[in-house]
Amino acid sequence: MRLRTVRKAAFAAAVALVAVAGCSQGGAPPSGEGTATATDGGTGGTTETVGAEVRLEDDETGEPVDGGTLRMLLRLDADKLDPHVATDTTGVIVGALVYEGLVENVRGEIVPALAQEWEMSDDGTTYTFTLREGATFHGGRTVTSEDVAYSLARVADPETLSPSGSSYAVIESVDTPDESTVVLNLSRPHAPMLAQLASLSASVVDREVVEAGGLGVPDGGTGPFVLAEHNVGRNIVLTANADYWNPELPHVDGIDMTWNPDDNARAAAIRSGDVDVLFRPAPEFIDSLKSDSAVKWYGGSGSLPSSS
């Protein structure tokens, strides 16, 4: 199956450097465009930036194939599954597939997500967004302007302990004149505003889920995948969102994420075909994996999506 089918942009944000087990419909994940790095899982971990030649999904031919479960192998379990606070590699990847904001960043271009259109005032201090019709949280509730206002207030709230919180101080107020209109009033012009709103930390979350016990399982997202299971120390299971606002996505039925800190074992797993995607192989295995005819190699921009 083509990895492009996982999500039009979410997986694009998640990919920095991967090896993919070859298959007849083999495709490539898009290159990431984020500018921030993420820690490689756990409460500790190192921050890693990887450079590689970019190979885009458009290099592959063939149509996406529906169905199946994508098996992804990472190094460590997720530390946090709340998009407003996640910074570890696995948490950020899950967040990019389960949550979304008003806009998203696809190869440096800001494109619609939960907002179908927007306008900026001439002085650059007011952004007006019109929400997409038919977008719902995974619990079934329709996304409204109040949800956007709540989410932006939550990430900026010091009590949330978001590493990105201070960067939202430029938003002076949020108006919600009706259920489908969001107006951001800035204290000054802020050129990176749209790029910031495309980051994981700007995800729109379901207030009811947050107040009922926090974001995890169940999640409070709107994305093409639902966080179905988090079996700590074992795996994370994502299932396709049957009610996703884009009826063409996702094409795969689900994603099964596992992890193993043993670099040798992870390299062996992708070579044997026990997994479909190996995220960030250890540097010492890069050359051998690139030369392995059973493995497709794809590089991204070298960083995970910005969580700030």
Residue whose entry in the numeric block shows the structure tokens 């070859």: 22
Topology (CATH level 3) of domain 3-100+214-299:
D-Maltodextrin-Binding Protein; domain 2 (3.40.190)
* Whether the predicted pLDDT of 13 surpasses 60: no
* Whether the predicted pLDDT of 242 surpasses 70: yes
Q: Nearest-CA neighbor of 257 among 97, 51, 101?
A: 97
What is the pLDDT at residue 295?
87
- Chain region(s) in the chain for CATH 3.90.76.10: 103-212
CATH for 103-212 (3.90.76.10, 3.40.718.10, 1.10.3720.10, 3.40.30.10): 3.90.76.10
Residue range 242-254: mean pLDDT, rounded: 95
Sequence-ordered alpha helix ranges (H) in 100-199: 145-156, 193-197
Q: How would residue 20 be classed by pLDDT, with cut points 50, 70 and 90?
A: confident
CB 296 within 8 A of CB 26: yes
Burial 101-120 (b: 16+ CB within 10 A, else e): bbbbbbeeebeebbbbebee
CB atoms within 10 A of CB 189: 12
- 3-state helix/strand/coil string of the chain: CCHHHCCCCHHHHHCCEEEEECCCCCCCCCCCCCCCCCECCCCCCCECCCCCCECCHHHCCCCCCCCCEEEEEECCCCCCCCCCCCCEHHHHHHHHHHCCCCEEEECCEEEECCEEEEEECCCCCEEEEEECCCCECCCCCECCHHHHHHHHHHHHCHHHCCCCHHHHCCEEEEEEEECCEEEEEECCCCCCHHHHHCCHHHCCCCHHHHHHHCCCCCCCCCCCEEEEEEECCCEEEEEECCCCCCCCCCCCCEEEEEECCCHHHHHHHHHHCCCCEEECCCHHHHHHHHCCCCEEEEECCCCCCCCC
What is the overall mean pLDDT for the chain? 83
Residue range 153-167: mean pLDDT, rounded: 97
Q: How would residue 155 be classed by pLDDT, with cut points 50, 70 and 90?
A: very high
Helix (H) / strand (E) element for 129: namely strand 126-131
What is the pLDDT at residue 34?
34
Instruction: Please give the model's pTM, rounded to 2 decimal places.
Output: 0.82
* Whether the predicted pLDDT of 191 surpasses 70: yes
Return the percentage of the chain with pLDDT > 90, whole number: 67
- Chain region(s) in the chain for CATH 3.40.190.10: 3-100+214-299
